[in-house]
């Protein structure tokens, strides 16, 4: 290999590394931007319906001052699961911008039950992974919980329930047409 070939190979390598850093940085920047509550509620039907629901719940205002944001509940923390979720979210953007079947609050509300059921199904399949970022049975002090809650949590451990089995409606109002008796383990859902 001649001196000129070595310099050319080295230049291509350096340019490749620089481009790789720029592309990786841009990718991570885009992930960070799309993982904010501000991004989530930038579509008016999200701001005017689910976000308003959230503001009325304990996940928004509570005695501890801890607030859950949209990404806390809807975007996994682990990288591979986050990427899969972001890819699936592109379908939501398609329905908002191209098909336009979710581009108004009225259209969103008409599909709210179906959309909620999709989220509940995913949460069930992942053992409520995003809930467990903050809530985990091992961290619960059943002695300090109300007896009804402690009993239900102990039952959930014994029977292998996951958070969403009992806590539909904890962060958003339940959709019209939803019957909690249809799928709740051991009785009605708790809000």
DSSP string of 146-160, one letter each residue:
-HHHHHHHHHHHHHT
In terms of domains, do 29 and 48 share one? Answer: no
Within-domain flag for 191: no
What is the Cα–Cα distance from 97 to 22, expressed in whole angstroms?
29
In terms of domains, do 24 and 49 share one? Answer: no
Within-domain flag for 187: no
In terms of domains, do 27 and 47 share one? Answer: no
- C-alpha distances (whole Å) from 77 to each of 28, 32, 68, 74, 82 are 14, 12, 14, 10, 6
In terms of domains, do 23 and 64 share one? Answer: no
Q: Are 104 and 45 in contact (CB under 8 A)?
A: yes
Within-domain flag for 64: yes
Within-domain flag for 38: no
Q: What is the pLDDT of residue 104?
A: 83
Average pLDDT over residues 150-178: 93
In terms of domains, do 10 and 51 share one? Answer: no
Whether the predicted pLDDT of 150 surpasses 70: yes
Within-domain flag for 190: no
In terms of domains, do 86 and 13 share one? Answer: no
Within-domain flag for 188: no
State pLDDT tens for residues 51-83: 998 999 999 999 889 999 999 999 999 999 999
Within-domain flag for 189: no
In terms of domains, do 8 and 70 share one? Answer: no
Q: Which domain holds residue 28?
A: 1-33
State pLDDT tens for residues 12-34: 999 999 999 999 999 999 999 99
In terms of domains, do 121 and 81 share one? Answer: yes
In terms of domains, do 12 and 68 share one? Answer: no
Q: What is the pLDDT of residue 185?
A: 58
Within-domain flag for 145: yes
In terms of domains, do 50 and 20 share one? Answer: no
Q: What is the pLDDT of residue 95?
A: 83
If DSSP codes are grouped into helix, strand and coil, which group holds residue 68?
coil
Q: What is the pLDDT of residue 46?
A: 84
For the chain, the domain total comes to 2
Half-sphere exposure of 145 (CA within 13 A, CB side): 13
pLDDT band per the 50, 70, 90 thresholds, residue 187 = very low
pTM: 0.80
In terms of domains, do 11 and 48 share one? Answer: no
In terms of domains, do 47 and 120 share one? Answer: yes
State pLDDT tens for residues 85-137: 999 888 888 888 898 888 888 888 899 999 999 999 999 999 999 999 899 99
Half-sphere exposure of 116 (CA within 13 A, CB side): 24
């Amino acid at each position: 290999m001649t001196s000129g070939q070595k310099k050319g190979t080295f230049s291509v390598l350096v340019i490749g590394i620089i481009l790789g850093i720029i592309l990786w940085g841009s990718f991570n920047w885009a992930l960070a931007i799309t993982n904010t509550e501000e991004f989530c509620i930038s579509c008016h039907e999200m701001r005017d319906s689910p976000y308003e629901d959230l503001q009325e719940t304990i996940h928004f205002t509570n005695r501890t001052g801890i607030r859950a944001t949209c990404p806390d509940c809807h975007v996994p923390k682990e990288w591979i699961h986050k990427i899969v979720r972001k890819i699936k979210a592109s379908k939501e953007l398609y329905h908002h911008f191209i098909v336009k079947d979710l581009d108004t609050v009225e259209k969103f509300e008409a599909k709210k039950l179906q959309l909620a059921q999709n989220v509940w199904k995913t949460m069930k399949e992942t053992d409520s992974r995003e809930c467990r970022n903050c809530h985990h049975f091992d961290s619960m002090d059943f002695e300090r919980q109300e007896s009804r809650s402690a009993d239900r949590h102990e039952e959930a451990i014994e029977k292998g329930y996951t958070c969403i089995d009992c806590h539909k409606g904890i962060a958003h109002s339940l959709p019209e047409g939803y019957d909690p008796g249809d799928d709740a383990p051991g009785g009605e859902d708790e809000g």
